[in-house]
A and B are shown apart, each in its own frame.
Chain A
Amino acid sequence: MSAEDTHRSVEVAARVERRWAAIAVIIIVGMALLAAFAGIHQATMPQPRVETTDPSRIHLSGEFVESNLGSVLETNGNVTVRAIGQQYSFTPACIVVPVDTPITLRATSADVVHGILIQGTNVNTMLVPGYVSEQLMRFTRTGDYLMPCQEFCSFGHEGMWGKVKVIDKTDFANRAKSGGRLSCVGQ
C-alpha cells in the first residue's frame, strides 16, 4: 500500500465511523425526547413530591390508621385507596375499586421495604418505610387482579400476595353510600 492509499483509507475509515457515531447519537437523543414528550404530554410521570411518615406511629394516628385503610369515594367521584404493607401481608389484603374511575393509591410500609404490583396493569410502586408512595391508576375492565409484593422483604416474601377486585361503578357507589372505608375482605 502506498502512502497515498493509506492516507485515503484512513479518511474512509474516519468518515464511516463518524456517520455511525452520528446515527448512534441521534437514536439516543430521539429516545430521551420521546420520554420527555410522553412524560409531559401524556402525564406519565413518577410521583413528583416526596412525603414522609413515621412507620412506628402509623397505627396510632394520621392517614394510615387501620380505620382509614381501604377505598373511599371522594366527593368529586374519584376514589382514594390507602394501604400499608408489613411482613408479610397487605392491609387491606383485598382492595375493592370501581371500574373506569380515576383512583389514587396511597401506600406506605410499616416495617421493611415492600412493593405493590398489580398483575396485568402498569401499577407498580415501591413501599419504603418512612415515605408515602402515591400512584394514579384506572382500570378498564372488571375482575380480580393479583397484587404480589414485588420486593424482597425477608423470609415470608413469597407468601405476600394481595388482591384487587375491580367491580361495577354503580355497585361500588351503592356500597360506598353508607360511608366509611371499603375493602373486599369478608365478602
Chain B
Amino acid sequence: MLVNRKLILAHFWFAFAVFGVALTLGAWQMFIRSPIGTWLSNPELYYRSLTAHGTVMGYVFPTLVAMGFGYAISESALEQRLVGVRWAWTGFWLIVLGSVMAMIPIALGRASVLYTFYPPLIGNLFYYLGVVLVVVGSWIWVALMSINLRVWRKAHPGATVPLAMYANVAGSYLWAWTAVGAALELLLQIIPVAAGLKNTIDAGLARIFFSWTLHAIVYFWLVPTYIAYYTIVPRAIGGRVYSDTMARIAFILFLVVAMPIGIHHTFADPQVGAGFKFIHSAFTALVALPTLLTVFTICASVEIAARLRGGRGMFGWIRALPWDNPMMLALAFSFVMLGFGGAGGLINMSYQLDASIHNTQWITGHFHLIFGGAIVIMYFAIAYDLWPHLTGRELIDLRLIRTQLWFWFVGMIVTTFPWHWVGILGMPRRMAYFDFGDPAIAPQALSVTFSAIGGFILLTSGIMFIVILARGMRAPQADAGAYRFAVAVHQPTTVPVALNTHALWVALMIALTITNYGYPILNLATTAGTSVPAVYVGAQ
C-alpha cells in the first residue's frame, strides 16, 4: 500500500540528481590528478570539487535514500497511511534548502574544508548552516518513523512488528544518535567561530566529536542495504529469509555496537591516550559480528531459492540461481565488494596494522568499496525494485539494468584496487595532484591512471542508472500489485519483547557511547590551553 508515492519519488529523484552531480565531480577529480589529465594545476578548484563530492555523497544522498525508502517501508510493511505527511514534506524541503545553502559557498571556494570539516580550518558560515538544515530535516524523518510505528502498535496490540519496519526504525535511531556528535562539533565549536563570535577552537576535541559521527554514519548508510538483503532479495529471487530472528539480532547489534567505536579514526592522533583507542578497536571488531551473521543468513536464504528452483549438490545450487535477475546480480556484486571492503576494514581497525595505511589512499579505496560499492549498488537495486510501484509503470529493459550493474561493479573494482595498492606504497590521500616526474612517485602513475579509468566506467554506469529510471517514468502503465517483503522460512509467531521493541537497545547504545566517549570528551574539554587560533578558508 503505497499512498504517498510523490513524497517518496521526490526523495529518490533529488537523491539521484545530486548523486549524478557528485559522481561527475568524482570522475573529474580522478582525471585531473592522474598523469593523463595534468592540464589543471589549480588545486583550489580540486578542493572545491572534493568538498562538494564528499558533502553530497556523505550527507545528502544516503540520507535521502534512507528517508524515501523508510517512508515506503512504513506504508507498505505496516499497511497504513503515513502519519505526518506534511511534516515529511517539511523535512524534504529543509534538506533541499540546506543542500543549496551549503553548495553556494562551496562553489564560490569559501568552504573548501571537505565534508569532515577539519577545524581549525573554518569555512563560510552558510556551508555549516546548510549541513545543519540537512540533519534537522532528516531528524523529522526519524521522529516520523517512530510515530508511525507507535500508531501501528496501538492498532495492533501485541503483534510482531514486520522485520522491514523493525530494521528501518533501528536505522533511524542509529542516525539520530550518531548525528549528535557532528551536531555538537558544529554548534559548540565550529559555528561560533564561523559566525565570528570566537576566534579560537579546540581542534583535538572537535575531532573527537566528529569521530562520534564518522563511523556510525557508515552503518546508517548501510542499513537500507541490509534491509534490502533481508527483505527484498529473497522475495525477488523466489526464496525465503532463512531466519527472521537472526535478521533482528543483526540490526540491533548495529544499533548497539556501531555507535561507540569512532575513536579508531584517531588511532594516530595525539589527543587521546592509548587505552580508549584500544577499547574502541575492540568494539570495532565487534561490529563485524552483525555482518558475519548477515553473510551467513543471506547465503542460506539464497540457497533456499536455488534449491526451490531445482539446484542440487554442495555447490551445484549456485548455478541454479536466477542470474538474469538484476536483484540476484546486485546482491552478488554487493557481497563481493563487501567481502573485500570488510577485509580492508579489519585491517584499518587493527590497533597495529592501521599505522601502515592510516590516511593513505588505501582508506579512500576501502570506503569507496564499502559505501560506493557494496552499499550504493543495493540503493540501485532498491530503486529498481520500488520504481514500478511508485510510478505504476514497468521497468522493461532488464538487459540494460544488468549492464548498468556490471559497469558499476567493474568500475568500482578498477577504481579501488589500485588505490589500495598505492596506499600500501604510502601515497597520501586528498592530494590535488602528484609530481609524477619525481622518480619516487613515478611508479604510482599507472595505478592512478587505472583509477581514473574506473572513475569513467562508474560515471557511465551512473548515467545509465538515471536514464533507466527516467525512461521508467514514461513506460506503458502496468499494475505492479502490492509491494511485498520477503517472508521467513519459519515466520515468527511470537518474538521476544526485546526483539520487537527498541527501547533496551537504544538505552544500551546511549550508555555505551557515554562510557566510551564520556571520559575522553570530558578530559579534553577540561584541559586548559588547547584552543588554537582559527584559520579562515579563502581569507588569505
Chain A complexes with chain B: yes
Q: Are B535 and A36 in contact (CB under 8 A)?
A: no
The verdict on A158 contacting chain B, using a C-beta distance below 8 Å, is: yes
Q: Are B285 and A31 in contact (CB under 8 A)?
A: yes
CA distance A146 to B98 in the complex (A): 41
Interface string of B289-308 (1 = CB under 8 A from A): 10011001100100000000
CA distance A151 to B346 in the complex (A): 22
Residues of chain A lying within 8 A (CB to CB) of residue B277: 46
Q: Are B533 and A13 in contact (CB under 8 A)?
A: no
Q: Are A152 and B430 in contact (CB under 8 A)?
A: yes
Q: Are A158 and B120 in contact (CB under 8 A)?
A: no
The verdict on A156 contacting chain B, using a C-beta distance below 8 Å, is: yes
Nearest residue in B to A87 (C-beta to C-beta)?
A: B535
Question: Interface with A: B5-13, B18-26, B164-172, B349-357, which one?
Answer: B349-357
Contact partner of B202 (CB less than 8 A), chosen from A49, A130, A152, is A130
Q: Are A119 and B425 in contact (CB under 8 A)?
A: yes
Residue among A126, A127, A129, A130 with max Cβ neighbours from chain B (10 Å) = A130
**For chain A residues 1-57, which have a beta carbon within 8 Å of chain B?**
6, 9-10, 13, 16-17, 20-21, 24-25, 27-28, 31-32, 35-36, 38-39, 44-52, 54-56
Question: Interface with A: B321-329, B398-406, B431-439, which one?
Answer: B431-439
Q: How far is the CB of B449 from chain A (nearest CB, A)?
A: 18
**For chain A residues 94-133, which have a beta carbon within 8 Å of chain B?**
111-113, 115, 117-120, 122-133
Interface string of A146-180 (1 = CB under 8 A from B): 10111111111110000000000000000000000
Q: Are A44 and B351 in contact (CB under 8 A)?
A: yes
If the complex has contacts A38-B351, A129-B120, are A148 and B428 also in contact, measured as CB distance less than 8 A?
Answer: yes
Residues of chain A lying within 8 A (CB to CB) of residue B355: 122-124
Residues of chain A lying within 8 A (CB to CB) of residue B535: 87, 111-112, 154
Q: How far is the CB of B32 from chain A (nearest CB, A)?
A: 11
Q: How far is the CB of A124 from chain B (nearest CB, A)?
A: 5
Q: Are B431 and A158 in contact (CB under 8 A)?
A: yes
Nearest residue in A to B286 (C-beta to C-beta)?
A: A28
Q: Are A157 and B431 in contact (CB under 8 A)?
A: yes
If the complex has contacts A46-B274, A52-B527, A154-B535, are A128 and B207 also in contact, measured as CB distance less than 8 A?
Answer: yes
CA distance A144 to B428 in the complex (A): 17
Q: Are B270 and A131 in contact (CB under 8 A)?
A: yes
Q: Are B44 and A155 in contact (CB under 8 A)?
A: yes
Q: Are A56 and B204 in contact (CB under 8 A)?
A: no
CA distance A157 to B118 in the complex (A): 13
Q: Are A20 and B351 in contact (CB under 8 A)?
A: no
If the complex has contacts A46-B267, A154-B535, are A17 and B289 also in contact, measured as CB distance less than 8 A?
Answer: no
Nearest residue in B to A25 (C-beta to C-beta)?
A: B289
Q: Are A13 and B489 in contact (CB under 8 A)?
A: yes
Q: How far is the CB of A103 from chain B (nearest CB, A)?
A: 15
Residues of chain B lying within 8 A (CB to CB) of residue A13: 242-243, 489-490
Residues of chain B lying within 8 A (CB to CB) of residue A148: 426, 428, 431
Residues of chain A lying within 8 A (CB to CB) of residue B297: 17
Q: Are A38 and B352 in contact (CB under 8 A)?
A: yes
Interface string of B500-540 (1 = CB under 8 A from A): 00000000000000000000000100010111110101000
Q: Are A28 and B289 in contact (CB under 8 A)?
A: yes
Q: Are A128 and B278 in contact (CB under 8 A)?
A: no
Q: Are A28 and B531 in contact (CB under 8 A)?
A: no
CA distance A158 to B282 in the complex (A): 34
Q: Are A129 and B440 in contact (CB under 8 A)?
A: no
CA distance A144 to B274 in the complex (A): 31
Q: Are B288 and A128 in contact (CB under 8 A)?
A: no
Q: Are B278 and A39 in contact (CB under 8 A)?
A: yes
Residue among B204, B272, B537 with max Cβ neighbours from chain A (10 Å) = B204
Q: Are B270 and A158 in contact (CB under 8 A)?
A: no
Nearest residue in A to B435 (C-beta to C-beta)?
A: A161
Q: How far is the CB of A10 from chain B (nearest CB, A)?
A: 5
Residues of chain B lying within 8 A (CB to CB) of residue A27: 288, 292
Q: Are B203 and A149 in contact (CB under 8 A)?
A: no
The verdict on B273 contacting chain A, using a C-beta distance below 8 Å, is: yes
CA distance A27 to B269 in the complex (A): 28
Contact partner of B204 (CB less than 8 A), chosen from A47, A122, A131, A156, is A131
The verdict on B80 contacting chain A, using a C-beta distance below 8 Å, is: no
Q: How far is the CB of B251 from chain A (nearest CB, A)?
A: 15
CA distance A151 to B120 in the complex (A): 13
Contact partner of A158 (CB less than 8 A), chosen from B43, B207, B529, is B43
Residues of chain B lying within 8 A (CB to CB) of residue A35: 278, 281-282, 285, 350-352
Q: Are B433 and A158 in contact (CB under 8 A)?
A: yes
Q: How far is the CB of A143 from chain B (nearest CB, A)?
A: 11
If the complex has contacts A55-B533, A117-B426, A148-B428, are A28 and B285 also in contact, measured as CB distance less than 8 A?
Answer: yes
Q: Are B293 and A20 in contact (CB under 8 A)?
A: yes
**For chain B residues 245-285, which have a beta carbon within 8 Å of chain A?**
246, 266-275, 277-278, 281-282, 285
CA distance A54 to B528 in the complex (A): 10
27 pairs, A vs B, C-beta closer than 8 Å: A9-B490, A13-B243, A24-B296, A28-B286, A28-B292, A35-B285, A35-B350, A52-B527, A52-B530, A54-B529, A55-B532, A87-B535, A126-B359, A133-B270, A134-B270, A146-B440, A150-B358, A150-B429, A151-B118, A151-B359, A152-B118, A153-B121, A154-B535, A155-B47, A157-B47, A157-B432, A158-B434
* 6 closest Cβ pairs, A-B complex: A119-B426, A24-B292, A150-B359, A150-B428, A131-B270, A133-B270
A residues contacting B by CB (< 8 A) are: 6, 9-10, 13, 16-17, 20-21, 24-25, 27-28, 31-32, 35-36, 38-39, 44-52, 54-56, 87, 111-113, 115, 117-120, 122-134, 144, 146, 148-158
